Amino acid sequence: METVTLTYKRPPDRVNHFQQELLYLDDDVIVTSQRVKPSSPIIQNGETVLADNFAAIWFVFTGLWYDVGKVYNLDNEWTGYYCDILKPVKRRVNIAGKLECFEITDLFLDLWVNPDGTYEIQDEDEFEEAVQNGAIDAELERKARDVMNMLIAEVEERGLESRLQAVFNSAQLPDLQDYVAKLP
């Protein structure tokens, strides 16, 4: 499997680099996978739905202000979607047109979506702190909030699921539950 580097930025000056497996790439989306190490677990209805070493299949859409991680627990069971509000992805390709790395700038706000369609906004406190400290200016704050509202509407209308299904159909991705069982 081919790997690609994700450059993850978080205002004001945090930069991390992660190696991810590249599953699919076209002009509209980058699909990668990795084992995650969140800053803290997410618990929904008494169940841990995101924690260390859970698997995530990431859908990073060109031009959109969010990405979507389809998350699987240590038993390879789908637990939900983790959506990051972020600036649109930047891609770096080599002279042959091959993707070398991609860059995202996280805007702190996140949305957890359960398999039943219920959801919870995550990291609002971090977002507010970034706004107060000037890491996010007023224009970017407004854009992040607008994107969150639009994403919630898309989730409520089941549009997010349709968007991901379209990627599955065009990419002919393998059965993800079997795939994540084999992730290191």
Looking at residue 12, its pLDDT comes to 93
Amino acid, res. 59:
F
Question: For residue 152, which of 115, 108, 89, 110 has the smallest C-alpha distance?
Answer: 110
In whole angstroms, how large is the CA radius of gyration of the chain?
16
For the chain, counts of helices (H) and of strands (E): 4, 11
Report pLDDT digits (tens) over 124-179. Answer: 999 999 999 999 999 999 999 999 999 999 999 999 989 998 898 888 776 776 77
Kindly list the structural domains of the chain, giving each domain's residue range(s) and its CATH number in brackets, ordered by start.
Answer: 3-179 (2.40.380.10)
Cβ-proximal residues to 172 (8 Å cutoff; 6+ apart), any chain: none
**Residue entry with tokens 């959801």:** 119
Residue 144 and residue 97: Cα distance in Å, rounded? 31
Report pLDDT digits (tens) over 98-113. Answer: 888 999 999 999 999 9
Looking at residue 171, its pLDDT comes to 82
By DSSP bridging, strand 99-113 and strand 3-10 are: parallel
Query: Where do runs of H (alpha helix) occur along the chain?
Result: 124-132, 138-156, 159-171, 176-181
Name the residue with higher pLDDT: 96 or 140: 140
Task: Place 81 in a pLDDT band, splitting at 50, 70 and 90.
Answer: very high
* Rounded alpha-carbon distances, angstroms, from residue 19 to 5, 66, 87: 5, 20, 20
Q: What's the chain's average pLDDT?
A: 92
